[in-house]
Amino acid sequence: MLNTAVELCEITKAFGENNVLRGIDLELYAGQVTVLMGANGAGKSTMVKILCGVYNANGGAIKLFGKQFNPATPAEAIKAGVVTVHQSINDGVIPDLDIASNLILDNLARPGGSFFLNQRKNRAEAQKIAETMGLDVDVTQLVNELHLADRQLVAIARAMAHKPKLLILDEPTSSLSAVEADRLFELLDRLRESGVAILYISHRMSDIRRIADRIISMRDGKISGTFEGASLDYEGAVKAMLGHSMTDNKIDIPEKGEAIVAIKNMKIRSDSTPFSLDLHANEVVAITGLVGSGKTEFANILFGIEKPFSGNIVLDGKPYQPKSLRQAIDAGVFLCPKDRASNAVVQDFDITKNISIPFLNRHSNFSFLNFASEHKTANQTISDLGIICQRNSDEIGSLSGGNQQKVMIGRWLAQASNLLVLDEPFQGVDIKARRDIGKKIRQTASKRATLVLVAEIDEALEIADRIIVMTDHTIVGDYQNKNIDIGQVLSKVAGQLSQSTELSAHAT
């Protein structure tokens, strides 16, 4: 018989007139991984924040191993054994501190801790914590110097240091490579065997199939379905989450237009194989590959953040060598980066300003900002992408992660471009939001070239006319999204096919 770790009974929460949670009844069991699925606005984040002491519930009761549990602060929740790794990595780490300080910070803050720091002892302790995650890092390195995936692993390792009774993970693999994700799954297997209850928030089918003991679906602030047993019903869980069945997202490949971008003999790194690529108007091209395959470096080259080792880019018939982001934007090349929290969202701005900030000159007359133009664009973006908010003046931080992502995508869709590059545009969003975003990207693609970078093959299949595989910083496969051999694509992604069977690196 399973031991109940956490029991939520009739939990309600409202913000003004907005009833976010409408009587949540849920049990989480020790030694079991419960996957939580829900569309943006379903109440997932609010429920988690109540569990970890950020919010107080308006009604209902919570029990932790049979005892009343009502944490007033996150510190109280952690002390009781409820530890959360939030979707926003910066909520789990302090970027300006080194890795060692991040990993032992909570220990130093405990009552009775020494006033004087023993750096050698602290670094040795931090090293042990890092090793639990298989982190091969110098613990004296600053967190803000790490890649996104390593920062995510530091945040998870910091959570592990608390020896949790309930571990809550919100989209933990969104920035991890396959190897890093497997390392996390192995750790979760050990935690499950030791009796830890795990609440795992994700919509990634690959994650769910690997780690879930059961799936809980949420819709409109309520539990809408529970799925468990030998064969987890993923499609049933999605139906309970959305309120309707999953449908095949068939792509009707349109006639592609003229070549907008021509890339010739590009080498991303000195030791990588050169490749060529043409991107056409009225064509959505997805590049898929594992984390570290070179997708993000390629996007940064196109946007002028990095330079290629060699090769040439022609944009709309003219040589293109941007020396700055402003030159790229002025040339009509836009990039929506994958690290929303660090590189995209301006937390001190409202929705309108977040949408208009790269294009203030287009909302100005004789150096005077045209507020009416800004608000018109923001309202159109909110309507087009179904952004859930009260008004366009809402602070961006008041939105759910998925709706923040829609604002970031909307920022770049709101203006005409020659080349739109979207790096992991579906990161941290649910299936419905993913399809809303994908639909809008395709609807607006006729006069530009569109390049979408994704790690998940199902995301590429849902949005692209053409799918390109990148491995080791070069192109190894090029497929029309029609009667596609998924097994072959996945083999290319993993780099498992021999050079003799690979497609030409020239993709047009």
* Dihedral over alpha carbons 457, 184, 171, 16 (to 10 degrees): 170
Q: For residue 313, what are the CA distances in angstroms to 262, 264, 308, 386?
A: 6, 6, 10, 36
**Residue 125 shares a structural domain with residue 206:** yes
Could you identify the residue written with the tokens 């056409």? Answer: 280
CB hemisphere CA count around 137 (13 angstroms): 29
Q: Are strands 466-471 and 283-288 parallel, antiparallel or unpaired?
A: parallel
What CATH code is carried by the domain that includes residue 401? 3.40.50.300
- Answer yes or no: is 347 within a domain: yes
**Residue 209 shares a structural domain with residue 278:** no
Amino acid letter for position 73: T
**Residue 285 shares a structural domain with residue 428:** yes
**Which of 242, 275, 290 is the last residue in one of the domains?**
242
**Residue 475 shares a structural domain with residue 329:** yes
Q: For residue 72, what are the CA distances in angstroms to 30, 50, 52, 53?
A: 23, 9, 9, 5
Distance between CA atoms of residues 378 and 354, nearest Å:
9
- Answer yes or no: is 89 within a domain: yes
Share of the chain above pLDDT 70, in %: 89
The domain tally of the chain equals 2
Distance between CA atoms of residues 209 and 200, nearest Å:
12
Q: Are strands 33-38 and 18-29 parallel, antiparallel or unpaired?
A: unpaired
Binned at pLDDT 50, 70 and 90, residue 503 comes out as very low
**Which of 212, 242, 272 is the last residue in one of the domains?**
242
- Answer yes or no: is 248 within a domain: no
Indicate the range of 4-8, 87-91, 194-198, 415-419 predicted with least confidence.
87-91
**Residue 236 shares a structural domain with residue 332:** no
Tell me the per-residue pLDDT of 454-486, one tens digit each, with 9 for 90 and over.
Answer: 877 778 888 999 999 998 899 999 999 988 887
**Residue 112 shares a structural domain with residue 213:** yes
Q: For residue 232, what are the CA distances in angstroms to 24, 208, 209, 217, 289?
A: 22, 9, 8, 12, 27
- Answer yes or no: is 222 within a domain: yes
**Which of 207, 242, 277 is the last residue in one of the domains?**
242
Classify the phi-psi angles of 53: left when phi > 0, otherwise alpha if psi is within -120 to 50, otherwise beta.
left
**Residue 18 shares a structural domain with residue 122:** yes
**Residue 235 shares a structural domain with residue 122:** yes
**Residue 281 shares a structural domain with residue 222:** no
Share of the chain above pLDDT 90, in %: 42
pLDDT of residue 316: 92
> Mean pLDDT across the chain, nearest whole number?
84
Rg (CA), the chain: 23
Task: Kindly state the tokens that stand for 260.
Answer: 């907008």
- Answer yes or no: is 102 within a domain: yes
The larger pLDDT score, comparing residue 370 to residue 5, is at 5
**Residue 191 shares a structural domain with residue 308:** no
The larger pLDDT score, comparing residue 119 to residue 349, is at 349
- Parent domain of 453: 264-497
pLDDT of residue 312: 94
Amino acid letter for position 181: A
**Residue 386 shares a structural domain with residue 314:** yes
Tell me the per-residue pLDDT of 160-205, one tens digit each, with 9 for 90 and over.
Answer: 778 889 999 988 887 677 777 888 888 889 889 989 999 999 877 7
- Answer yes or no: is 502 within a domain: no
The larger pLDDT score, comparing residue 494 to residue 491, is at 491
**Residue 358 shares a structural domain with residue 444:** yes
Distance between CA atoms of residues 495 and 489, nearest Å:
10
Buried b (16+ CB within 10 A) or exposed e, 230-264: eebebeebbbbbbeeeeeeeebeeeebeebbbbbe
Q: What is the pTM of this model?
A: 0.62
Using a 10 angstrom Cβ sphere, with 0-12 exposed, 13-18 middle and 19 or more buried, the burial of residue 329 is buried
- Answer yes or no: is 276 within a domain: yes
